[in-house]
Amino acid sequence: MESEETEGRTLVQVISEKYSPENFPYCRGPGVGVVIRSSPQGSPVKDRLNLPRILVLDSCGITEAGDEEEVATFCAHVVELDLSHNQLKDWGEISKILSNIPNLDFLNLSMNPLRGSSLEPGAAEAFSGLRRLVLNNTHVTWDMVHTLTREILELEELFLCLNEYESVSVSSIPCPSLRLLHITDNQLQNWAEVRKLGLIYPGLVSLILANNSLSSIHEPEDSLLRLFPNLRSINLHNSGLCCWEDIEKLNFFPKLQEVRVMGIPLLQPYTDQERRYLMVAQLPHVTVLNGSVVTNGEREDAERFFIRYHLDCPEDELPQRCLGWSEQAL
Q: Using one digit for the tens of pLDDT, what is the confidence trace for 220-275?
A: 999 999 999 999 999 999 999 999 999 999 999 999 999 999 999 999 999 999 99
User: What distance in Å separates the CA atoms of residue 158 and residue 179, rounded to the nearest whole number?
Assistant: 9
> Is residue 5 in some structural domain?
no
Residue 71 maps to which CATH number? 3.80.10.10
Q: Which residue has the higher pLDDT, 318 or 268?
A: 268
pLDDT tens-digit profile of 87-119?
A: 999 999 999 999 999 999 999 999 999 999 999
Sequence-separated (6 or more) residues with CB below 8 Å from residue 178: 149, 155, 156, 157, 158, 201, 203, 204
User: What distance in Å separates the CA atoms of residue 62 and residue 58, rounded to the nearest whole number?
Assistant: 9
Q: Could you tell me the pLDDT band of residue 28, with boundaries at 50, 70 and 90?
A: very low
> Is residue 322 in some structural domain?
yes
> Is residue 40 in some structural domain?
no
Look up residue 207 and give its amino acid: L
User: What distance in Å separates the CA atoms of residue 197 and residue 227, rounded to the nearest whole number?
Assistant: 9
Cα torsion 246, 252, 258, 260 to 10°: value is -10
User: What distance in Å separates the CA atoms of residue 158 and residue 136, rounded to the nearest whole number?
Assistant: 9
Q: Is the pLDDT of residue 45 over 80?
A: no
Percent over 90 (pLDDT), the chain: 77
Sequence-separated (6 or more) residues with CB below 8 Å from residue 181: 157, 158, 160, 197, 201, 204, 206, 207, 208
> Is residue 256 in some structural domain?
yes
Q: What is the pLDDT of residue 3?
A: 43
Q: Could you tell me the pLDDT band of residue 317, with boundaries at 50, 70 and 90?
A: low
> Is residue 39 in some structural domain?
no
> Is residue 36 in some structural domain?
no
Look up residue 229 and give its amino acid: P
> Is residue 224 in some structural domain?
yes
Cβ-based neighbour number of residue 37 at 10 Å: 9
> Is residue 108 in some structural domain?
yes
Percent over 70 (pLDDT), the chain: 83
Domain count, the chain: 1
User: What distance in Å separates the CA atoms of residue 160 and residue 273, rounded to the nearest whole number?
Assistant: 34
Mean pLDDT within 285-299: 97
Domain of residue 252 covers 53-329
> Mean pLDDT score of the chain, rounded to an integer?
88
